[in-house]
């Protein structure tokens, strides 16, 4: 893994996050049976447009292997900062660096910036992500210091339950 920089999204980087959000939704499409809308884009519900007291968005950068200028390789959205339990609302890592430890580094960095307890929700059919979040929980919270629970998805009775991983 090359050196990565993780920091809050800056004012001029919100369009970059919006493009990466499309990649995130594309990756989720087979799991949530999603199609792009008529304009070719996936839904943007949950896509932040700025930092708020309740939400922070972080972006990860790494030098591009061909241009050697920083390239965005992932993002994470932290929600519920004003409530008693933080939530990792969304996270995406570029496929080319997924096996390089970037996802773990981003998740650990972001969670480490905000006091817990924490909740991470993952779709039942997203097997790779579920395995990742279990490994993450062991590292971030400690083996045996977190719990996993399946909960019905509100207003979607025909889909498998979500998996909730919670610390504290």
Tens digits of residue pLDDT in 73-131: 999 999 999 999 999 999 999 999 998 999 999 999 999 999 989 999 998 888 889 99
Give the pLDDT of residue 159: 81
Query: Please, where are the H alpha helices in 42-113?
Result: 102-112
For the chain, give every domain's residue range.
Answer: 4-167
Band (pLDDT 50/70/90 cuts) for residue 148 is: very high
CA dihedral 41, 127, 115, 92 (to 10 degrees): -30
Percentages helix, strand, coil for the chain, rounded to the nearest 5? 30, 30, 40
pLDDT at 20 over 90: yes
As a whole number of angstroms, the distance between CA 14 and CA 111 comes to 21
Of all residues in the chain, the percent with pLDDT exceeding 90 is: 73
- Mean pLDDT, rounded, for 19-26: 92
The structure tokens listed for 155 are: 């207003």
Q: What is the mean pLDDT of the chain?
A: 93
Neighbours of 160 (CB within 10 A): 13
Is residue 26 within 8 Å of 35, Cβ to Cβ?
A: no
Encoding tokens for residue 111? 């969670």
- Classify 124 as helix, strand or coil: coil
- Given a cut of 80, whether residue 1 has pLDDT beyond it is no
36 has pLDDT over 90: no
The arithmetic mean of pLDDT across residues 47-63, rounded, is 96
Please, are residues 109 and 141 in contact by the beta-carbon 8 Å criterion?
no
The token pair at 127 is 């097997």
Q: Which two tokens stand for residue 61?
A: 């950068």
- pTM over 0.85, yes/no: yes
Closest alpha carbon to 109 in 27, 8, 29: 8
Cα separation, 20 vs 91, in Å, equals 10
Report the CATH number of the 4-167 domain: 3.40.630.30
């Amino acid at each position: 893994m090359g050196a990565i920089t993780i920091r809050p999204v800056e004012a001029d980087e919100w369009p970059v996050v919006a493009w990466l959000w499309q990649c995130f939704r594309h990756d989720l499409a087979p799991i949530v049976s999603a199609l792009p809308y008529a304009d070719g884009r996936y839904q943007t519900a949950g896509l932040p447009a700025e930092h708020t007291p309740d939400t922070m968005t972080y972006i990860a950068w790494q030098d591009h292997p061909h241009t050697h200028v920083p390239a965005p390789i992932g993002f994470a959205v932290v929600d519920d900062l004003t409530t008693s339990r933080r939530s990792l609302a969304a996270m995406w890592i570029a496929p080319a660096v997924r096996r390089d430890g970037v996802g773990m580094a981003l998740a650990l960095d972001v969670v480490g910036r905000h006091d817990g307890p924490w909740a991470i929700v993952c779709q039942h059919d997203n097997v790779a992500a579920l395995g990742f979040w279990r490994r993450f929980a062991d590292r971030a919270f400690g083996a045996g210091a977190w719990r996993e629970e399946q909960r019905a998805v509100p207003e979607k009775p025909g889909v498998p339950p979500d998996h909730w991983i919670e610390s504290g």
